[in-house]
Amino acid sequence: MTQTQQEVVRVTDPAVARALRQNTSFLGQFLQPRSPSEVASRLDMAANLAHHHARKLADLGLLFEAKREGGKVFYQLAAPEFRVPSDLLPPGEEGGNGTAELRDLSYELKVSRRRTRAERV
């Protein structure tokens, strides 16, 4: 069953916040609907690893199944904006609280949305 993208996802679970922080490059590949195989070739990673990561991130609610075509599953970011309370992950945690990485992903999302709007005009 396919879903639609939400406007905003509010992250309240530390495990989801960690996954968002640790997988920004991978998640950034799903600004538009893409299959994990497509992402694997773009990132030069094994296809089975990309499929595994995509399923895990979908289970956490960071990706959703946008469509299926010819046996392929296409995932997309669950929302163009993720809101994570700054105190959800303590700054002393390995990797910090992820503020910089999340800011980078937010910037990528904004640029992508602008490009999409410009293409429509």
Show the domain range for 40: 9-120
Q: What is the CATH number of the domain that holds 20?
A: 1.10.10.10
Count of domains forming the chain: 1
- Is the residue at 53 inside a domain? yes
Instruction: Tell me whether strands 72-77 and 63-69 are parallel, antiparallel or unpaired.
Output: antiparallel
- Is the residue at 91 inside a domain? yes
- Is the residue at 1 inside a domain? no
- Is the residue at 3 inside a domain? no
Give the per-residue pLDDT at 86: 78
Q: 93: alpha, beta or left, given left = phi > 0 and alpha = psi -120 to 50?
A: beta
CB atoms within 10 A of CB 45: 14
- Is the residue at 94 inside a domain? yes
- Report how far residue 25's alpha carbon sits from residue 32's, in angstroms, rounded to the nearest whole number: 14
Question: What are the mean pLDDT values of the chain's consecutive 10-residue runs (121 residues total)?
Answer: 79 90 90 95 95 96 94 93 81 56 64 66 61
Give the per-residue pLDDT at 22: 86
- Report how far residue 56's alpha carbon sits from residue 63's, in angstroms, rounded to the nearest whole number: 9
Give the per-residue pLDDT at 23: 86
- Is the residue at 96 inside a domain? yes
